[in-house]
Structure 1
Amino acid sequence: MKVDKKTLEKRIERQSKQWNKAGTDRHFLSQLGLLGTLGLLFVIPLVAGAYLGSWLDARLEGFSTSWTVSLIIVGVFVGAFNVYFYIRDTDGEPHDR
């Protein structure tokens, strides 16, 4: 993906303004909210994978913990992708609702 010089300069300027604003505008509660959101985006797939894997292991005999471990690992990757895409799409800024 090629990015021309003007687009890159505009993007850098916009991000620089956001960083400067973030240093003075952020309050403790907004940072706490962002941290909570990121935590939930990571933990929910992890816990869902653990529960689903445990359920599958109980239903299918001969597999002691293989589904549980496998789906926990999948949950970690899904959670990491969730956090990455959330930060990428919002630039780390919480939305005003």
Structure 2
Amino acid sequence: MPYRDKLSKHTRRDIERLKNKAFRPATWIGILLYGGTLGLLFVVPIVAGAYLGRWLDTLASGYSVRWTVSLIVLGITVGGYNVFRFLRDRT
């Protein structure tokens, strides 16, 4: 019986903490980490596309930026989709 009382006491305390957390403003560190995560989700596909496209363009004879531009545009699309999904799942 004392375990049940202790469990219900801790459960009530945890529920109150969760309720109070929703009303607290975000901290600067939390905002920076959130923004940094969004930035990485957007920038990494663009940079990867640029490097892959540049490498593919060096394999072609002559001067070409076809692959570089195409994969940068694809990276922007993928990065935007990553950010969209991240924000959708967080709300």
- What's the offset of the Cα at 1:25? 2.8
Q: 1:95 is matched with which residue?
A: none
Number of aligned residue pairs: 70
- What's the offset of the Cα at 1:58? 0.1
Q: 2:75 is matched with which residue?
A: 75
1:55 aligns with 2:55: yes
**Aligned-residue CA RMSD in angstroms?**
1.3
Return the alpha-carbon distance in structure 1 between the equivalents of residues 70 and 42 of structure 2: 16
Return the alpha-carbon distance in structure 1 between the equivalents of residues 36 and 25 of structure 2: 19
- What's the offset of the Cα at 1:44? 0.2
When normalised by structure 1's length, the TM-score is 0.68
Runs of 4+ deviating beyond 2 Å: none
Q: What per-residue deviation string (whole Å, max 9, x for no partner) do you get for residues 49-78 of structure 1?
A: 000000000012246101000000000000
Return the alpha-carbon distance in structure 2 between the equivalents of residues 77 and 62 of structure 1: 28
Name the one with the larger helix percent: 2
Return the alpha-carbon distance in structure 2 between the equivalents of residues 31 and 83 of structure 1: 15
- What's the offset of the Cα at 1:26? 0.6
User: Structure 1 vs Structure 2: percent identity of aligned residues?
Assistant: 50
When normalised by structure 2's length, the TM-score is 0.72
Larger radius of gyration: 2
Which amino acid in the other structure matches residue 34 of structure 2? L
Structure 2 regions of 5+ residues with no counterpart? Answer: 1-21
1:90 aligns with 2:75: no
Return the alpha-carbon distance in structure 2 between the equivalents of residues 62 and 88 of structure 1: 44
Within-5 A mapping of 1:1-97? 21=22, 24-62=24-62, 64-91=64-91
